């Protein structure tokens, strides 16, 4: 009995010591420490190690994803207002939705091979010029490089199937293609449209398109080809939209005014079912309308400009 009691006491003392050491370790980590230009700390709320500061002076930066064997993530603002960094290498595993804000001297961004989705944003990085996107990428998020005015050197690989709303809005890349009626990148993505805004015809062969801007007229028209499988749903009340039998992934906004227009498609089509489920205005397409819709979308294909050209 005496030996058992001593063992229990030893166990209790060891348990208390280990607990105290662990608590002290967590406390130290929660306060944080500097290592290789970065400030690390343990976030109790997120139960992970985060980087919340940077004081480096390197022009080329590879964003860390690990501290030893432990994964780390960036908190917002780590690189905000940096005027030294010229190039950033973005690795796999970077926090989704991370924003690089006002990196005034940043000229080039390269994403690691293996990344499938670019969900980072570059905001007020006015000197950013070159963006290197690997073949592994399939999606580029909304506003990714919007208003980074000097962005011009961009090659979007054919692996990319989706580009979010205004990803390259107000950039030199957009301005360079102002004379292209339909500028197509990736896997059939209509990135820029520069045609009439009262009657928009999307060419056959295009698979994804985003927000289309219509004139403020009593009635405008838009024709979507049967090849479109992904579209930003913006059919305001003054618009009549024509579709085929295709099943479309509508990226909708929870605002009725964005889809208050009239949807026209063949009876029994996916679009008809979608309209019924979402209480949207629909009527079946007539034979004459179907003939006109097909002629328009097929003829428009001759006006496409592809990036690889």
Instruction: Give the three-state DSSP class for 88.
Output: strand
Instruction: Name all domains of the chain by residue range, CATH numbers in brackets.
Output: 42-176 (3.80.10), 178-309 (no CATH)
What pLDDT is stored for residue 1 in this prediction?
47
Cβ-based neighbours of 25, under 8 Å, separated by 6 or more: none
Tens digits of per-residue pLDDT, 67-126?
888 888 888 899 999 999 999 999 998 877 789 999 999 999 999 999 999 999 999 999
Query: Which residue ranges of the chain lie beneath pLDDT 50?
Result: 1-2
Cβ-based neighbours of 49, under 8 Å, separated by 6 or more: 29, 40, 41, 42, 43, 67, 70, 71, 72, 73
What pLDDT is stored for residue 14 in this prediction?
75
State which H helix or E strand residue 54 sits in. Answer: strand 48-54
What pLDDT is stored for residue 8 in this prediction?
73
State which H helix or E strand residue 275 sits in. Answer: helix 270-278
Bridge partners of 90, per DSSP, are 111
Q: What is the pTM of this model?
A: 0.85
């Amino acid at each position: 009995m005496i030996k058992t009691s001593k063992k229990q006491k030893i166990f209790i003392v060891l348990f208390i010591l280990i607990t105290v050491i662990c608590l002290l370790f967590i406390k130290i980590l929660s306060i944080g420490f500097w290592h290789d230009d970065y400030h690390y700390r343990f976030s109790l709320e997120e139960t992970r190690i985060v980087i919340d500061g940077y004081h480096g002076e390197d022009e080329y930066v590879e964003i860390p994803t690990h501290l030893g064997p432990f994964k780390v993530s960036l908190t917002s603002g780590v690189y905000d207002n940096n005027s030294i960094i010229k190039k950033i290498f973005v690795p796999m595993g970077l926090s989704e939705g991370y924003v690089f804000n006002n990196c005034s001297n940043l000229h080039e961004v390269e994403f690691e091979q293996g990344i499938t989705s670019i969900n980072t944003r570059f905001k007020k990085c006015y000197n950013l010029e070159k963006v290197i996107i690997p073949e592994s990428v399939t999606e580029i998020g909304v506003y990714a490089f919007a208003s980074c005015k000097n962005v011009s050197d961009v090659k979007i690989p054919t692996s990319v199937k989706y580009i979010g709303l205004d990803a390259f809005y107000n950039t030199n890349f957009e301005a360079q293609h102002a004379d292209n009626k339909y500028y197509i990148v990736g896997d059939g993505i209509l990135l820029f449209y520069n045609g009439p805004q009262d009657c928009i015809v999307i060419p056959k062969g295009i698979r994804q398109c985003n927000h289309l801007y219509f004139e403020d007229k009593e009635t405008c028209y838009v024709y979507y080809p049967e090849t479109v499988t992904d579209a930003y749903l913006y059919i305001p009340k003054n618009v009549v939209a024509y579709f085929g039998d295709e099943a479309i992934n509508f990226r909708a906004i929870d605002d009725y005014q964005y889809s208050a227009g009239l949807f026209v498609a063949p009876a029994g089509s996916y679009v008809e079912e979608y309209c019924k489920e979402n209480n949207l205005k629909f009527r079946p397409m007539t034979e004459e309308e179907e003939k006109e819709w097909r002629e328009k979308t097929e003829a428009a294909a001759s006006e496409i400009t592809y990036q690889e050209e």
